[in-house]
Amino acid sequence: MRCSCREHPRFRTIRFALFAAVALVLFGCGYRFGPTSAESPFPPELKTIVLESAVNKTTISGIEIELTNGLRQEFAVSRGLTAVRSGGDVSFKTIIASYVDTPSSYRADGKELTRIGTLNVACSLNRSSDPRKILWNKDLSASYSYNVTDTISETLTNRRSAISQMIRGLIPRIHQSLYDNF
């Protein structure tokens, strides 16, 4: 007599594997936006952070606003230090130190085809009670290639898009670096 499909050993193995997969999905993969409070690398008395507006030392206006808003959003969705407008335990300062364009390829007639833009950012974390005491500092940079066209306005638009890409890439790196290297 043949065994029914439900009693077959292979069916039981498949049923167990399916159950295990569903259990793993239900209990999650463990992804998180930042460290839990128990894993915080900061001293226990540091709970709040003031994210100061970025200082822009380049000639490209508006990028400091984009970087500041992105960092504030990144800290808002993460665990660890709680972002506050004023009166925080620590102060986070960001300086956009420089932006450099470097030609990277040329057309056959010798005109530029693409450029690589490089954005350099300096960050520091200071204790609010003693602003001269630097708890952490880090210099980071990002590069992105963009097309050079025959019109200045289109080339500048391409450059601005490349800078936005660099900022979007730098924001999580800055945030993670603060937690990794404190």
Summarised one tens digit per residue, pLDDT across range 105-142 is: 999 999 999 999 999 999 999 998 888 889 999 999 99
Query: What gap in Å lies between CA 136 and CA 43, rounded to an integer?
Result: 13
CA angle 34, 35, 40 (to 5 degrees): 135
**What value does the mean pLDDT of the chain take?**
86
Query: Mind listing the domains of the chain with CATH numbers?
Result: 34-180 (3.30.160.150)
37 compared with 113, residue with greater pLDDT: 113
Q: For residue 172, give Cα distances in angstroms to 71, 78, 115.
A: 8, 11, 24
- Decide: helix, strand or coil at residue 53: coil
46 compared with 22, residue with greater pLDDT: 46
Cα 117 to the center of its chain, rounded Å: 18
pLDDT at 4 over 60: no
Q: How many residues does the chain have?
A: 182
pLDDT at 162 over 90: yes
Closest CA to 158 of 116, 98, 106: 116
- 7 secondary structure, DSSP code: G
15 compared with 85, residue with greater pLDDT: 85
- Decide: helix, strand or coil at residue 46: coil
